[in-house]
Amino acid sequence: MTRARRVLLALMLVAVSAAVFAAGGCASPPAADTVTVLGSWTGAEQDGFMAMVSGFEQKYGIKVRYTGTRGADAVLATDVKDGNPPDLAVLATPGELDQYARDGALLPIDAALRSTGLTSEYGPGWRKLMQAPGHDGATHYFAIFVKAALKSVIWYDPKTLPAPDARLLTSPDLTWAQLTGLTARLVGPGKSPWCMGLEDSSSSGWPGTDWIEDILLHQSGPRVYDQWVNGTLPWMSEPVVRAWQTFGEIANTPRQVHGGTQGELLTSYAAAGQPMFSDPPGCYLDHEGSFITGFYTQDTLGSLDSKEHPRPRTDFNFVPFPALAAAGQGTEEVAGDLLGLFNDTPAARELIAYLTTPQAQEAWISRPGSGAISVNQRVPLGDYPDPVSQALAKDLTSATDVRFDASDSMPQMMQNAFLNAVLEYLDAPSQLNAILRGLDQVRAAAY
């Protein structure tokens, strides 16, 4: 071949390559080293999770693509139905975990957890909640707890509560009667004792279910609570009816809640505490889980356009939910966010295993205002960023008699009916019996 011909051939090859490139024939397949995660965490919670996985991304060179939306449960249900779920998804409840595991949509993660220190680092109660009977009938690990929350908590602003009331509220022997007496004194023109907001996209109503659960637990005790959660205690039974009525004494009584019934129904749970920090305050007490501190620190002090944000202990602190009867003393309600595997890829398994480690858990809980609590026993209390978070973590990890969020533990059908029933009760309190009879009908079908 002459030199001239060689040059011509080379030019032709270059031309063909360039033409193929110009025609766009260089599309690359999707990267295998990416994990898709769907969750309900947005805002500060999303930032916390991303901080948690950044160490993983650096260590393994695997990218985590997270999508956060408040209606994540509905989105996940659609994705699973379409046969196109994300690799990993946050499950708000063990009820969801049970359902997806039974349907075979959720995949066992026993193998992924084998190399972790799960047995020594997580308490047996928490480990049990990560397991469920699978499609094959055998019990497997199906999810991990990314973070947990203490639910039996009442928040207040130490600066705005009158000193005698603050002393009473923080008394270790606070009773329900003392609390209701205190709230009666806080009623005044333009101000109500309680902050409350039930709106949360497709899960609206859960702050109300938390109220009823806490009342039932602290009024009738853990044994009755367990029967109710397991579907053996009817909704029309005396303890349950009494719990609803007690809730109604607050939620349905004029001037007890900021904004009245319409305000409760239309206010987001995340924004419900904002009036507590207004000047003058619109409400003084807020019954929310420990995660709410992540939203409090985004609220504003004084007025809505203020640049100052509430600080732990100075602007908000908590007291435990008081017992309504002797049977309800010394017990607390907890909840947690589970992460389950829907697409079994090596990268997704690596991430699941990594998220159980103290190193990963610390990345989220150490963020100021995160409101997250780790259930990994090896995470030291000193890693929490403020005294309020430390006190919450101490309460959660040292609690001897805890019960998981009831609505989260019920079958999904029962849970959905419960959420809607709370809203219907606020809308039409005189219909309580009809509402509870309806719930009993659902109970008969759901369990």
Q: Which residues bind other proteins (CB under 8 A)?
A: 4, 7-8, 11-12, 14-15, 18-19, 22-24, 27, 29-31, 34, 36, 38, 42-43, 65, 67-71, 74-79, 82, 84, 86, 199, 201-202, 204, 261-262, 265-266, 268, 420, 423-424, 426-431
Name which of 23 and 326 has its Cβ closer to other proteins.
23
Residue whose tokens read 């009473």: 168
Name which of 233 and 265 has its Cβ closer to other proteins.
265
Distance CA 233, CA 160 (A): 41
Name which of 6 and 167 has its Cβ closer to other proteins.
6
Helix (H) or strand (E) holding 161: none
Name which of 199 and 213 has its Cβ closer to other proteins.
199
The identity of residue 322, as a single letter, is P
Closest separation in Å from C-beta 74 to other proteins: 4
Contact 37, 65 (CB under 8 A): yes
Name which of 338 and 421 has its Cβ closer to other proteins.
421
Closest separation in Å from C-beta 360 to other proteins: 22
Closest separation in Å from C-beta 379 to other proteins: 28
Closest separation in Å from C-beta 375 to other proteins: 26
Distance CA 240, CA 399 (A): 24
Cβ within 8 Å of residue 164, ≥6 positions away: none
Closest separation in Å from C-beta 203 to other proteins: 10
* Residue 17 burial class via C-beta count within 10 angstroms: exposed 0-12, middle 13-18, buried 19 and up: exposed
Closest separation in Å from C-beta 264 to other proteins: 8
Closest separation in Å from C-beta 15 to other proteins: 4
Name the nearest CA neighbour of 240 among 414, 446, 26, 368. 414
Query: Could you give the angle at which helices 358-365 and 346-355 cross, rounded to 10 degrees?
Result: 70
Helix (H) or strand (E) holding 419: helix 412-427
Name which of 42 and 175 has its Cβ closer to other proteins.
42
Name which of 117 and 248 has its Cβ closer to other proteins.
248
DSSP E strand stretches across 142-272: 143-150, 153-156, 192-195
Name the nearest CA neighbour of 190 among 279, 252, 273. 279
Residue whose tokens read 């019990």: 139
